[in-house]
Structure 1
Amino acid sequence: MVANRFISPLDHLIVGFDKALRVVGGVASMSRPNPGAHAVDCELSDEERRHSAGLMRVNHVGEVCAQALYDSQARFAQTPEMRAQFEQAGREEEDHLAWTAQRLSELGSQPSVLNPLWYAGAYALGSIAARIGDKHSLGFVVETERQVEAHLDSHLTMLPPQDAKSRAIVEQMRVDEVAHGAKAQALGASETPLPVRMAMKAMSKVMTTTAYYV
């Protein structure tokens, strides 16, 4: 007997709500080892530890947003192929979520208390992009990854030089983000309009500045 694979809208809602709770609660599984696992854990001063924690909290918020973006874009994608692409990217980004959460714990800190807000905002943006069309949705990914790459580059200069564990995580995240942006571009992403790019940068600035502290 063939199993019924029909998933009702209520099922989708329950699954999505469950995932959102896990993401904002910091529950994530990794499919790849933490890049910082074998890095030497050098001594950090209290000030350096707080600074590293603030930066890694910002990175964790970015991954919370990435989960929301890819989940919403997958849900409202216009073709099965595009849906599969967004789902795969989301699974890869979940490694980043787990790595940054683990590093925050090692630094004696915690994720942003505003994670539910960040997730909701990112989900709304991803839904809008997906509704406009797959090429625009891919363009949104390209621009997002471009800004994230620049953001991670800045963190590599801002992290304490001896914080090898955090550096290893950020470096691997950067490699992955570049690959995701390149793949979205190769799939036919359209150019994101300048006003939208500027708005994205402004929103990112608010988020990163706030998440560093709370």
Structure 2
Amino acid sequence: MSTHTTMQDQPAFSRRMSVLDGLLSEVGRAVQVLDGSVHAGRPNPAGKHRIPAGQAAARPELTAAEQKHAAGLMRVNHVGEICAQALYRGQALFCGDAAIEKVFVKAANEEVDHLVWCRQRLVELDSRPSLLNPLWYAGSFSLGMLASRAGTARNLGFMAETERQVEEHLDEHLKDLPLVDERSRAIVAQMRDDEIGHRTTAERSGASKLGPIVRLAMRGMSKIMTVTAYRI
């Protein structure tokens, strides 16, 4: 009887270990994202040659005020990519559909490119990432896990709406960045194109449209993040 009970309990134990392994793996990934040790899979659209830290201020095309403003906007974009990375990995962890999990993982991997490009540009602008990045990551990952429990269609719908709002946000940055800051603009333009691709993929995979209250709440949270990340 003891042997029978052990064999019966083994699948549940294996599932618990699998979930624990997944969570531990995500903790390791979070550390890599936050300490900047992740690597981009694609070349930086701003060009192969980066400007050493501290030299951006000496570039005549950017005034001190323009450089500070561009750094603030790119810090906001970097935080956005921190959130996207955490969100999609949280959504993938418990989605329960192998094909849809691949959609989230692929999007998360492309967001790593954005993350690295934004961080590189911040260095060029003699600036830094947000000091609140661990908080942004933890909150977004938790939100992603909650979304993953809402069903495949709503899970994808959350992704589609996130990307729709990010597209609008990046379009605004392209208008707001100094015209002479071609390097930041090249990065933001490629990011926007990728986000459009993510939204389209989510919609084609069966995303359902979120309700107006949820969409409004997402906009409110995004506003808090952008205002805070610009300065801190």
**TM bucket by the smaller chain?**
over 0.9
Indicate the residue corresponding to 1:175 in structure 2: 193
Q: How many residues align structurally?
A: 209
User: Which residue identity lines up with residue 127 of structure 1 in the other structure?
Assistant: M
1:107 aligns with 125
Using the alignment, how far apart are the partners of 1:107 and 1:19 within structure 2?
27
Residue equivalent to 2:27 = 17
Q: Quote the Cα distance in structure 2 between the aligned partners of 1:199 and 1:108.
A: 34
- Indicate conservation of the 8 Å contact 2:89/2:105, yes or no: yes
Residue 46 of structure 1 is matched in structure 2 by: 64
**Contact 2:72-2:229 at 8 Å conserved across structures:** yes
Match of 1:34 in 2: 44
Q: 1:75, CA displacement in angstroms?
A: 0.3
Q: Which structure 1 residue ranges, 4+ long, deviate > 4 Å from structure 2?
A: 38-42
Which residue is 1:206 aligned to? Answer: 224
1:109-167 CA-partner distances (Å, limit 9, x unpaired): 11000001111111111111110111101000110000000000000011011000000
Larger RCO, structure (CA 8 Å, separation 6 or more): 1
- Report the alpha carbon displacement of residue 22 of structure 1 after superposing the two structures with TM: 1.4
Report the TM-score, using the length of structure 2 for normalisation: 0.86
Alignment equivalent of 2:88, drawn from 70, 91, 102: 70
Equivalent of residue 87 in structure 1, options 105, 118, 124? 105
Quick check: which has more Rg, 1 or 2?
A: 2
**How far off its partner does 1:200 sit?**
0.2
Partners in 2 of 1:18 and 1:45 — Cα distance?
40
Asked if the contact 1:59/1:100 (under 8 Å) is kept, the reply is: yes
**Per-residue CA distance 1:38-94 (angstroms, 9 max, x = gap):** 699853111111100000000000000011111001101121111111111111111
Matching of residue 191 in structure 1 with residue 201 in structure 2: no
Question: TM-score, normalization: structure 1?
Answer: 0.93
The residue aligned with 2:54 is none
2:33 counterpart letter in structure 1: V
Conserved 8 A contact 1:39-1:164: no
Cα deviation, residue 26, structure 1: 2.5
